Chains A and B, each alone.
Chain A
Amino acid sequence: MTVNELIKKVFFVEILKGLALTLKHLFSPAVTRQYPTEKREPFPGSRGLHALVRDPETGREKCVGCGLCAAMCPSRCIHIYTSEGDDHKKVVDRYEVDVLRCVFCALCVEACPYGALVLTPHYEYSGYTREEFYYTKDRLLENWDKYMAGPRGAEYLEKFWRPKSSDFGVRVESHMEEGAKS
């Protein structure tokens, strides 16, 4: 052991260095947040509670009941019930999301060909019964009005309803037909 090492050992140099560092942090601004009083705004596109897109033209849901979101869902939490309407069109009778089963992967958003389903950034919801987390069609439309109405919804779909043509390179059309036949 050299003299230098001995001095370091006797005078606790490495421990004092560590203490100096923590002391410095005592005078720097706090990085923590006092959560319930001080809330953090989630980033746009943050995956929280579900919402059904309300079509501004008709005032009803955009969803046509094709059931692709339910087919894509890995946790099988979307339930859709449809019937035939007066003009032989499909009518969505019930559209229900069991939020307690959901894993918030947002694959349903990608599966929807119409862009009729989004995940809102709303994350603070709690309740005492399971029924509160079984979101029916009306409640899902309500979520859209509450959290995504206006430019927010359009921005979300622009950014996260993908893939779009711009994400692909030059694609030869014959490839596409080959893919469709498979």
Chain B
Amino acid sequence: MEKFSEGPGNREETSRLSSNGLTLNIGPQHPATHGVLRLVVDLDGETIVKCTPYVGYLHRGVEKLSEHRNYMQILPFTDRLDYVSAMSNNIGYCTAVEKMFGIELPERTEYIRTIIGEMSRIVNHLLWLATHALDIGAMTVFLYCFREREKLLDLFERLCGARLTMSYTRIGGLKNDVDEQWLKDLYEFTDEFPMRIEQYETLIDKNRIWLKRTKGIGVISAEEAINWGLSGPTLRGSGVPYDIRTDMSYGVYDKVKWQVCTGKNGDVYDRYRVRMEEFRQSNSIIRQCIDQIPEGPIMADAPKFTLPAKDKVLSDMEHLIHHFVLVTKGPQTAPEGELYVATEVPKGELGFFFVSDGTGKPYRMRIRSPSFVHVAALPRLCEGELIADLISNIGSIDIVLGECDR
């Protein structure tokens, strides 16, 4: 003991080290940052004193690009915001544009959109659970989640031809109709899926390592969560029953039975529980929609905004002219003004804000993405906690940097 303290300057040096702390750079290329998020963390020992997120590494200028594309062409860009749940973004964008144009959707389209929206929620939460568990150290959950995700992606591919960047919805309708066999196969999946959810829960729900890593970590109260602008499961984990699916009118969420899942404590564990419950709710919404889905058209009766029927384009002059105008210039009768429409995507509130000058292109399009807001709240969640818990905090707010940086 004495031997150590006798060394010249030894004690002094240690004390100087601890008082200065350490600045650590995590990312942009770090497996636990879920993309290209860079965090500069000031540490005192293992405790985080200050955490500063730097975003923008995946900036592709979607908003600016959209000013030079007509309303139909913007759709593929929305796939690439939150590439984990592209279908939800498609629905969000189309819902916003349809509100602006005043298009009424046929009932079948609303049902199909609700089904694919909830499928997309399951796909997103599966990937979230997989990577979140992997970050914390549970590898098996990752493999099991990807098994189910693959089945849903196959269904997406059969429906529209793409597994990830779907571009399935259209302004005033859908790309193509679903068939009976597809609905049947999806129904089979929903039969099996609740058993799979139980399997994930068997692995981690009561696991003592999982509980130690998640309970009481990253606590945020309901009031603070609202003040930070959190939304989606991240907000509901704090006990705020706010869900745009109930509060705004889109889809057929008012025609099926489901409930908004909320947590209590606002910690990482409660946010995890909320998402696990949403699996079950989404599953039940899909089943009810398949039971209720009516026959009928899938395109709205809005000839000024939807492409005319292909079989009429080459036989009818008006249809042909209209087709040319729509494709080259976009819808010519867009109303002037400003509009904000939000939808509930798996990560939270995805809003589209348009400034329209009446031409076929938006004068300005702004995307309110949940990931950006959630990253902003990250320092609040992890400051004062251990560096190891930073990883579970990043996982629990469910961010995708493609959407954050746009």
Q: B313 contacts the other chain (Cβ, under 8 Å)?
A: yes
A163 B304 Cβ-Cβ under 8 A: no
Instruction: Please give the distance in Å from B111's CB to the nearest CB on chain A.
Output: 15
Given contacts A43-B158, A74-B76, A180-B319, is CB(A169)–CB(B303) below 8 Å? no
Which of A14-22, A87-95, A126-134, A138-146 is the contact stretch?
A14-22
A45 B161 Cβ-Cβ under 8 A: yes
Find chain A residues with CB under 8 A from B306 CB: 163
A176 B303 Cβ-Cβ under 8 A: yes
B207 A18 Cβ-Cβ under 8 A: yes
Q: B17 contacts the other chain (Cβ, under 8 Å)?
A: no
Q: B157 contacts the other chain (Cβ, under 8 Å)?
A: yes
Find chain B residues with CB under 8 A from A68 CB: 323-324, 327-328
Q: B249 contacts the other chain (Cβ, under 8 Å)?
A: no
B310 A163 Cβ-Cβ under 8 A: yes
How far is B204's CA from A66's CA once the two chains are assembled, in angstroms? 58
Given contacts A18-B203, A176-B319, is CB(A46)–CB(B157) below 8 Å? yes
Q: B320 contacts the other chain (Cβ, under 8 Å)?
A: yes
> Across the A-B interface, how many residue pairs have beta carbons closer than 8 Å?
147
B73 A107 Cβ-Cβ under 8 A: yes
Interface membership of chain B positions 146-162, coded 1 if the CB is closer than 8 angstroms to chain A and 0 otherwise: 01001000100110111
Q: B259 contacts the other chain (Cβ, under 8 Å)?
A: no
How far is B175's CA from A103's CA once the two chains are assembled, in angstroms? 16
Q: B333 contacts the other chain (Cβ, under 8 Å)?
A: yes
Instruction: Please give the distance in Å from A16's CB to the nearest CB on chain B.
Output: 11
How far is B207's CA from A119's CA once the two chains are assembled, in angstroms? 48
Instruction: Please give the distance in Å from B201's CB to the nearest CB on chain A.
Output: 10
Q: B165 contacts the other chain (Cβ, under 8 Å)?
A: yes
Interface membership of chain B positions 80-111, coded 1 if the CB is closer than 8 angstroms to chain A and 0 otherwise: 10000000000000000000000000100000
B309 A104 Cβ-Cβ under 8 A: no
Q: B277 contacts the other chain (Cβ, under 8 Å)?
A: no
Q: A153 contacts the other chain (Cβ, under 8 Å)?
A: no
Is the interface on chain B under 10, 10 to 19, 20 to 34, or 35 or more residues? 35 or more
Q: A39 contacts the other chain (Cβ, under 8 Å)?
A: no
Interface membership of chain B positions 271-308, coded 1 if the CB is closer than 8 angstroms to chain A and 0 otherwise: 00000000000000000000000001111010110111
How far is B308's CA from A175's CA once the two chains are assembled, in angstroms? 12
Interface membership of chain A positions 112-124, coded 1 if the CB is closer than 8 angstroms to chain B and 0 otherwise: 0111000100000
B157 A43 Cβ-Cβ under 8 A: yes
Residues B52-93 near A (CB distance < 8 A): 69, 72-77, 79-80
Is the interface on chain A under 10, 10 to 19, 20 to 34, or 35 or more residues? 35 or more
Q: Which residue of B lies closest to A113 (CB)?
A: B313
How far is B150's CA from A105's CA once the two chains are assembled, in angstroms? 21
Q: B311 contacts the other chain (Cβ, under 8 Å)?
A: yes
Residues B208-247 near A (CB distance < 8 A): 208
How far is B311's CA from A164's CA once the two chains are assembled, in angstroms? 6
Q: A137 contacts the other chain (Cβ, under 8 Å)?
A: no
Given contacts A168-B297, A178-B303, is CB(A162)–CB(B313) below 8 Å? no
B301 A162 Cβ-Cβ under 8 A: no
B303 A162 Cβ-Cβ under 8 A: no
Q: B332 contacts the other chain (Cβ, under 8 Å)?
A: yes
Q: Which residue of A lies closest to B210 (CB)?
A: A14
Q: B206 contacts the other chain (Cβ, under 8 Å)?
A: yes
B177 A22 Cβ-Cβ under 8 A: no
- The 8 Å CB contact of A171, one of B203, B303, B322, is B303
B167 A162 Cβ-Cβ under 8 A: no
Instruction: Please give the distance in Å from B70's CB to the nearest CB on chain A.
Output: 9
A165 B75 Cβ-Cβ under 8 A: no
How far is B80's CA from A105's CA once the two chains are assembled, in angstroms? 11
Sample of 9 more A-B contacts, CB < 8 Å, known A180-B322, A182-B325: A9-B208, A18-B207, A45-B161, A103-B80, A119-B161, A163-B310, A177-B318, A178-B303, A180-B321
22 contacts between A and B (CB under 8 A): A17-B202, A18-B202, A18-B203, A43-B154, A45-B161, A46-B157, A46-B161, A72-B327, A103-B76, A105-B76, A107-B75, A165-B309, A165-B311, A165-B312, A167-B299, A171-B301, A175-B301, A176-B308, A179-B303, A179-B308, A180-B318, A182-B333
The 5 closest A-B pairs by CB, nearest first: A179-B303, A105-B76, A180-B318, A169-B297, A14-B206
